[in-house]
Structure 1
Amino acid sequence: MERRLAAVLIADVVGYSRMSEVDEEGTRVRFHADLHQLFEPKIATHHGRLVKTMGDGVLVEFHSVVDAVHCAVELQREKAERNAALPPEQRMVFRIGVNLGDIIVEGEDIHGDGVNIAHRMQVLAEPGGIAISGTTYDQVRSKLTVGYLALGERMVKNIAEPIRVYRVLLDPAVERSTIGATSTPRAWAIFAAAMGIAVFLLAALAWWQPWQAEDDASVALVDTRPSLVVLPFDNLSDDKEQGYLADGITEDLTTELARIPGLFVISRNAAFTFKNRASLPSEVSTQLGVRYILEGSVRRAGAEMRINAKLIDSTTSGNVWAERLDGAWSDVFDLQDKMVGEIATALKLRLVTSHQVASIAGGTNNLAAYEAYLRGRELELRERPEDWVEAVKYYERALALDRAFGNAAAALAWMYREAHWTEARSKVLGLTQDEARSKADAYFTQAAKNPSPAYYRLLTAKLNQMQRSDEAIAAAERAIALDASDPSNYEWLSMAMIFNGRAEDGLGYLDAATRVDPAWSRWRYLLAGLAYFSMDRFEEAVVAFEKIAPESKETSYWDFWSNYEGLMLLISAYGQLDRHADAAAARERLKPYLAQAQEPEYTGLMAAVEFPFKNYVDLERVLAGLRKAGVPELPDGFNPKPEDRLDGDAIRALLFGHEIQGRNIETGEAYRRVTAEDGTTLITVGAWSDQGRSTIEGDMLCSIYPTRWRFCGVISRNPDGTSAQKNKYRLILQWDRFEFSMVK
Structure 2
Amino acid sequence: MRYLFEDHTLDTERRELLRGADAVSITPQAFDLLDYLIRNRERVVSKDDLISAVWNGRIVSDAALTTRVNGVRSAIGDTGEEQRLIKTLPRKGFRFVGAVQEDQSVCSAVASEIHSEQPKPALPLPDKPSIAVLPFTNLSSDPEQEYFADGMVEDIITGLSRSKSLFVIARHSTFTYKGKAVDIKQVGRDLGVRYVLEGSVRKSGNRVRITGQLIDATTGTHLWADRFDSQLEDIFDLQDQITSSVICALVPQLERAEIERAKRKPTESLQAYDYYLRALSGFYQFTREQNIEAFRLCQAANEIDPGFAAAYALGAYICLQRKTFGWTSDAAQERIEARRLVRRAIEIDKDDPTVLARAGQVMSGLLNEVEDGLALVSRAQELDANLVIAWYSSGWQNLFLDDVDAALKQFNIAVRLSPLDPLLFFAQTGLAYAHFVAGRYDDGLSWAKSAVLHRPNYLNAQFALVACYAMSGRVVEARAECARIMQAKPDMLLSTIIPKLKTRFRAAEAIERLAQAWRIAGVPE
**How does the TM-score come out when normalised to structure 2?**
0.69
When residues 569 and 266 of structure 1 are mapped into structure 2, their CA distance, relative to the original with a 3 A threshold, is closer
For 1:543 and 1:608, locate their aligned partners in 2 and report how far apart those are by CA, in whole Å. Answer: 27
**Aligned match for 2:509, one of 591, 603, 617:** 617
CA distance in 2: counterparts of 1:619 and 1:426, whole angstroms: 25
Note closer, same or farther for the CA distance 1:522–1:553 as it changes in structure 2 (3 Å cut). closer
Judged with a 3 Å threshold, the aligned counterparts in structure 2 of structure 1 residues 319 and 566 are, in CA distance, closer, same or farther, namely: closer
Residues 1:583 and 2:478 aligned together? yes
Of the three residues 417, 430, 437, the one matched with 1:527 is 430
Q: Kindly indicate whether the alpha-carbon contact (under 8 Å) linking 2:356 and 2:379 is maintained by their aligned counterparts in 1.
A: no
Distance in 2 (alpha carbons) for counterparts of 1:242 and 1:253? 17
Aligned to 1:695: none
Distance (whole Å) between structure 1 residues aligned to residue 239 and residue 112 of structure 2: 40
- Report the 3-state secondary structure (helix = DSSP H, G, I; strand = E; otherwise coil) of the residue aligned with 1:262: coil
Give the direction of change, closer, same or farther, for the CA distance of 1:536–1:346 in structure 2 (3 Å limit). same
1:629: how far off? 4.2
SS of the residue 2:360 aligns to: helix
Distance 2:520 2:455 in 1: 30
Contact 2:482–2:522 (CA under 8 A) maintained in structure 1: no
Go from structure 1 to structure 2 and tell me whether the alpha carbon gap of 1:23 and 1:465 turns closer, same or farther (over 3 Å shift).
farther
| Residue of structure 2 aligned with 1:503, choices 404, 408, 415 | 404
Aligned to 1:445: 343
Structure 1 residues 421, 339: CA separation in 2 closer, same or farther (over 3 Å shift)?
closer
Choose the corresponding residue for 1:603, options 471, 489, 494: 494
Q: How does 1:349-498 map to 2 (within 5 A)?
A: 349-352=254-257, 363-419=266-322, 425-426=327-328, 432-449=330-347, 450-451=349-350, 452=352, 453-463=354-364, 469-498=370-399
Shift of the 333–566 alpha-carbon distance from structure 1 to 2, 3 Å rule, reads same
Counterpart position of 1:179: none
Once residues 430 and 271 of structure 2 are traced to their aligned partners in structure 1, the CA distance between those partners, rounded to angstroms, is 39
Contact 2:345 2:355 in 1 (8 A): no
Distance (whole Å) between structure 1 residues aligned to residue 439 and residue 115 of structure 2: 21
Q: Distance in 2 between matches of 1:257 and 1:351?
A: 14
Offset, 1:608: 4.3
Asked if the contact 2:126/2:193 (under 8 Å) is kept, the reply is no
Letter in 1 for 2:471: Q
| 1:373 CA displacement | 0.8
Q: C-alpha deviations, 1:272-328, integer Å up to 9, x for none?
A: 111122223212211111111111111122112211112112233232222111121
Q: Decide which structure has greater helix share.
A: 2
Helix, strand or coil: the match of 1:228?
A: strand
8 Å CA contact 1:534, 1:618 repeated in 2: yes
Q: Among residues 416, 427, 439, which one is paired with 1:515 in the alignment?
A: 416
CA–CA separation in structure 1 for the residues paired with 2:163 and 2:262: 11
Q: How far apart, CA to CA, are the structure 1 residues paired with 2:274 and 2:368?
A: 38
Measure, in 2, the Cα distance between the counterparts of 1:25 and 1:383.
27
Corresponding residue pairs, total: 407
The DSSP-based 3-state class of the residue aligned with 2:230 is: strand
Q: Which has the higher contact order (CA 8 A, sep 6+)?
A: 2
Query: Secondary structure, in 3 states, of the residue corresponding to 1:425?
Result: coil
Q: Structure 2: how far apart are the matches of 1:438 and 1:498?
A: 25
In the superposition, relative to structure 1, how do residues 484 and 433 fare at CA in structure 2: closer, same or farther (>3 Å)?
same
What is the rounded CA distance, in whole Å, between the counterparts of 1:340 and 1:394 in structure 2?
Answer: 27
**For structure 1, which segment, 566-575 or 458-467, has the greater mean C-alpha deviation from structure 2 after superposition?**
458-467
User: CA distance change for structure 1 residues 382 and 278 in 2, over 3 Å: closer, same or farther?
Assistant: same
Secondary structure, counterpart of 1:448 in structure 2:
helix
2:180 maps to which residue? 277
> What SS does structure 2 have at the residue aligned with 1:549?
helix
Distance, in Å, in 1 between the alignment partners of 2:366 and 2:510 is 15
- 3-state secondary structure, aligned to 2:141: coil
- The answer for the alignment partner of 1:256 in structure 2 is 159
Write 1 or 2 for the structure with the bigger share of strand. 1
Distance verdict in 2 for CA 1:243–1:577, change over 3 Å? closer
Tell me the TM-score normalised to structure 1 length: 0.50
Residues 727-738 of structure 1 aligned to structure 2 (within 5 Å) = none
Which aligned pairs between 1:329-340 and structure 2 lie closer than 5 A? 329-340=232-243
Aligned to 2:47: none
- CA 1:283/1:245 → structure 2, altered by over 3 Å: closer, same or farther? same
Q: Provide closer, same or farther for how the CA distance between residues 491 and 616 of structure 1 changes in structure 2, counting only shifts above 3 A.
A: same
**Which sections of structure 2, spanning at least 5 residues, go unmatched?**
1-110
Is contact 2:364-2:374 (8 Å) kept?
Answer: no
User: RMSD in angstroms over aligned alpha carbons?
Assistant: 3.3
2-structure distance, mates of 1:397, 1:465: 23
Bigger Cα Rg: 1
Say whether the 8 Å CA contact 1:468–1:614 is kept in structure 2.
Answer: no
Q: Quick check: 1:565 aligned with 2:460? A: yes
Q: Which residue of 1 aligns with 2:35?
A: none
Q: CA deviation at 1:535?
A: 0.9
What residue is the counterpart of 1:548 in the other structure? 451
| Partner SS, residue 247 of structure 1 | helix
**Contact 1:22–1:540 (CA<8 Å) still a contact in 2?**
no
Q: What is the alpha-carbon distance in structure 2 between the residues aligned to residue 592 and residue 544 of structure 1?
A: 24
